[in-house]
Structure 1
Amino acid sequence: MAQILAPTSQWQMKVTKSSATASPMTAKMWGSLVLKQNKKGPTRSSTKFRVLATKSEGYTINRLEGLLNLDLTPFTDKIIAEYIWIGGSGIDVRSKSRTISKPVEDPSELPKWNYDGSSTGQAPGEDSEVILYPQAIFKDPFRGGNNILVICDAYTPQGEPIPTNKRARAAEIFKNKKVIDEVPWYGIEQEYTLLQTDVKWPLGWPVGGYPGPQGPYYCGAGADKSFGRDISDAHYKACLYAGINISGTNGEVMPGQWEYQVGPSVGIEAGDHIWASRYILERITEQAGVVLTLDPKPIEGDWNGAGCHTNYSTKSMREDGGFEVIKKAILNLSLRHGEHISAYGEGNERRLTGKHETASINTFSWGVANRGCSIRVGRETEKQGKGYLEDRRPASNMDPYIVTSLLAETTLLWEPTLEAEALAAQKLALNV
């Protein structure tokens, strides 16, 4: 596996022994391009040259890596801020850089910026300007120093959230006093699949073929069971460096598939941290020459899909007597099952089949320690009489702003009719 945190494409120049005028070069020097004349043309008049980029016992200089690793701190107070936003598909991350005059500690210190929304599917060509509002900052693990990653959401020039800006609506829900008082915690389990670049087939799989059946790969070790560990480990460290609340990682059931967990995070922070972690993962796989996909069912057949299970609790759930609060929340969730499913990720119907540790997309269910249910409650929560629930329905490509805010809205702000509540209680009792 390639070294992930360093660029994999290296521009290497060689000083040949035959050069009579060549002088010793150090790693700090730019060096000179060594040009070799095309033998087919006249010696003095040929304009066809090629750069010698072969590795030998001579001086080898990686000019790109040296520049990428430059520490600017001793020379300038200026920093680079990478503004990140969500593109028109609702799942693609976009970014661009700008220079900031000095280090910052809060997004309010950063200027708003704009981009061409017609190139991201978010605005028409005749009125293409979209405005970026900085919302959360993280340390930049790629540039280091005081440089930062900036999570932004997008608005029209008149200050209205554009349709793909799901953060603005989530922020309104999380600012509601009822929600604030309940201090909603989230732990999000982000699954993803790594694909070979040219064939778009899972990493470690024979091209056009299949590995052995699932079983030895989940949390496995070994060259025949674990594919992409360097990427997972590099991402883990990069997230910790950035200040993302990543809490763990593991190999998943399908070979070439991995998972990491973010949380516990409070309110809107959960969405900000997931989007920042996805951006970092995209950058790492870019450097590794591997394709990242969040498709909920990347390989059809007897293979696990990819989800984004969301663990959720409120203050009342975490206190004594919380199990009854959890059951009331589950009742509300059952009544809005359709609304949640429609917002839980594109292509999720290919994953939620009732097989491979999923519930059917058409049926709401819950159970203790049952991974084949829509909502799972842990044994420890049942034993302690308090804790959290796990919503197993969200797909790997879900928008965390939508899922987290919808959970809070359904369980804390939305009230069903008495008739609907009674009917749902009967159905859930039969289900359990």
Structure 2
Amino acid sequence: MAQILAPTAQWQMSFSKNSTNASTLTSKMWSSLVLKRKGTHKSSAKFRVLTVKAENSTVNRLEDLLKLDVSPITDKIIAEYIWVGGSGIDLRSKSRTISKPVEHPSELPKWNYDGSSTGQAPGEDSEVILYPQALFKDPFRGGNNILVICDTYTPAGEPIPTNKRHRAAQIFGNQKVINEVPWFGIEQEYTLLQTNVKWPLGWPAGGYPGPQGPYYCGVGAEKSFGRDISDAHYKACLYAGINISGTNGEVMPGQWEYQVGPSVGIEAGDHIWISRYILERITEQAGVVLTLDPKPIEGDWNGAGCHTNYSTKTMREDGGFEVIKKAILNLSLRHREHISAYGEGNERRLTGKHETASIDTFSWGVANRGCSIRVGRDTEKNGKGYLEDRRPASNMDPYVVTSLLAETTILWEPTLEAEALAAQKLALKV
């Protein structure tokens, strides 16, 4: 955009649409241009500022409106209601005006949507009710506008099948679980794809880059693809109030990871879902496709996981390593149940290669990234800390994974016979 200082009447006439000078000016983006007439520099009152815009002037005007701050004009805000769709992994959202800023979900009204259009209700009884559950600042609209995580119910108040938050809230609301203050740190991996060819960002269309090795935490045009998206997402999450703790480029080129946590209980699921929504919106604006497929490219390439770091109060206290080993024993006995809930297509990722364990075998180890459960060196050394469940896929439902970990390690008790056999098999002395 260029600003032209020009006389009010006479000079405006010289900048007609057919003027050669005018067409030249409007085809370029100049930072500033001052046109002066001899003898008029002392009389600036005869001049006014005109705006000459580039050929994409419509886009510029749209950007101005998108950035418009309405808070000096009205107390009303925009609330973006967000929920999980019928596939269990897709996110949906719609907006409504709220009369004033709010501080708690209970201040917001319930709402509804057409469940027959999201695969969550039949056409003859399509109304699904949205219950607001968690609030975040809206990094796209700014001001007092908010993003609202909702879960979904029938008009009679029953959670619909894709509402996994409801069951998770019950588990995290159990007093025994509350007393253990479960912490989660979730490592969300994702892959960026080129829009037209659905091939990873930075890869030659229909071809392959060099083998893995230089891309993990890499720097440089030939090693890092999509850093601006990762950085924009990082800042947007901080603005929204998400407990994002870091980010890095991943092993496969075009693949990234961010970490959320430590988060307590149900908050972990809320933060992951809203961070995914923000990432979807950013890639939408960037014209890049986001995929959470656990194995987006077959062959000698790393898949995408959602490693879940987990600890309880007793794990973090002195003697906690024995509690961790007991938790690992429980997890081994419910391996199949966990795997079935850890993400669609995970069998393509958990092959025993590319830093994964086999999907059919449960294993654990200290500092071993080829195991189902990894325990850090510091945890072993200090005798307390956390475990990392490396089995969840990148498309897992965080409500399901976090609540299942809490249920298996805090609430569920195996039989003595099963416990003894598992301890022997895993070489655990509990």
Deviation string, structure 1 residues 70-118 (Cα, Å, up to 9, x no partner) = 0111000000000000000000000000000000000000000000000
Aligned to 2:220: 222
State the alpha-carbon separation in 2 of the partners of residues 150 and 400 from structure 1.
17
Aligned to 1:111: 109
Aligned to 2:147: 149
What aligned pairs does 1:26-425 form with structure 2 within 5 A after superposition?
59-60=52-53, 61=57, 62-425=60-423
State the alpha-carbon separation in 2 of the partners of residues 147 and 192 from structure 1.
27
- The letter of the residue matching 2:75 is D
Aligned residues: CA RMSD: 2.3
Q: CA deviation at 1:199?
A: 0.2
Q: CA deviation at 1:188?
A: 0.1
State the alpha-carbon separation in 1 of the partners of residues 226 and 322 from structure 2.
42
| Larger deviation, residues 417-426 vs 326-335 | 417-426
State the alpha-carbon separation in 2 of the partners of residues 21 and 235 from structure 1.
50
Structure 2 gaps of 5+ residues are: 19-25, 31-50
State the alpha-carbon separation in 1 of the partners of residues 374 and 226 from structure 2.
29
Deviation string, structure 1 residues 380-432 (Cα, Å, up to 9, x no partner) = 0000000000000000000000000000000000010111111101110189x
Check conservation: 2:171, 2:407, Cα contact below 8 A.
Answer: yes
Q: CA deviation at 1:59?
A: 1.2
Of structures 1 and 2, the larger Rg is shown by 2
- The letter of the residue matching 1:420 is A
State the alpha-carbon separation in 1 of the partners of residues 223 and 330 from structure 2.
41
TM-score (norm 1): 0.88
Q: Alignment partner of 2:427: what SS?
A: helix
Q: Alignment partner of 2:276: what SS?
A: helix
State the alpha-carbon separation in 1 of the partners of residues 96 and 407 from structure 2.
36
State the alpha-carbon separation in 1 of the partners of residues 195 and 376 from structure 2.
39
State the alpha-carbon separation in 1 of the partners of residues 411 and 130 from structure 2.
30
State the alpha-carbon separation in 1 of the partners of residues 12 and 314 from structure 2.
73
State the alpha-carbon separation in 1 of the partners of residues 428 and 314 from structure 2.
26
State the alpha-carbon separation in 1 of the partners of residues 419 and 198 from structure 2.
47
Q: Alignment partner of 2:212: what SS?
A: coil
Q: CA deviation at 1:35?
A: 9.8
Structure 1 runs of 4+ aligned residues shifted over 2 Å read 20-24, 53-58
Label 1:379 to 1:116 Cα distance change in 2 as closer, same or farther (>3 A): same
- The letter of the residue matching 1:282 is E
Q: CA deviation at 1:288?
A: 0.3
Q: CA deviation at 1:23?
A: 5.1
- The letter of the residue matching 2:68 is L
State the alpha-carbon separation in 2 of the partners of residues 408 and 102 from structure 1.
38
Structure 1 gaps of 5+ residues are: 1-11, 25-33, 37-52
Aligned to 2:38: none
State the alpha-carbon separation in 2 of the partners of residues 281 and 348 from structure 1.
22
- The letter of the residue matching 1:343 is A
Label 1:362 to 1:21 Cα distance change in 2 as closer, same or farther (>3 A): farther
State the alpha-carbon separation in 2 of the partners of residues 55 and 356 from structure 1.
50
TM-score (norm 2): 0.88
Deviation string, structure 1 residues 137-170 (Cα, Å, up to 9, x no partner) = 0000000000000000000000000000000000
Check conservation: 2:342, 2:391, Cα contact below 8 A.
Answer: yes
Q: Alignment partner of 1:316: what SS?
A: helix
Aligned to 1:5: none
Q: CA deviation at 1:378?
A: 0.0
Q: Which has the higher helix share?
A: 2
State the alpha-carbon separation in 1 of the partners of residues 186 and 10 from structure 2.
61
Q: Alignment partner of 1:339: what SS?
A: helix
Q: How many residue pairs were aligned?
A: 393
State the alpha-carbon separation in 2 of the partners of residues 277 and 81 from structure 1.
16
Q: CA deviation at 1:55?
A: 5.3
State the alpha-carbon separation in 1 of the partners of residues 95 and 158 from structure 2.
24
- The letter of the residue matching 2:191 is T
Label 1:22 to 1:238 Cα distance change in 2 as closer, same or farther (>3 A): farther
Aligned to 1:48: none
Deviation string, structure 1 residues 344-385 (Cα, Å, up to 9, x no partner) = 000000000000000000000000000000000000000000
Label 1:145 to 1:23 Cα distance change in 2 as closer, same or farther (>3 A): farther
Q: Alignment partner of 1:188: what SS?
A: strand
Deviation string, structure 1 residues 228-274 (Cα, Å, up to 9, x no partner) = 00000000000000000000000000000000000000000000000
Check conservation: 2:325, 2:428, Cα contact below 8 A.
Answer: no
- The letter of the residue matching 2:184 is Y
- The letter of the residue matching 1:236 is Y
Label 1:362 to 1:54 Cα distance change in 2 as closer, same or farther (>3 A): farther
Q: Alignment partner of 1:303: what SS?
A: coil
State the alpha-carbon separation in 1 of the partners of residues 28 and 278 from structure 2.
31
> Quick one: percent identity of the two aligned structures?
88
Q: Alignment partner of 2:261: what SS?
A: strand
Q: CA deviation at 1:193?
A: 0.1
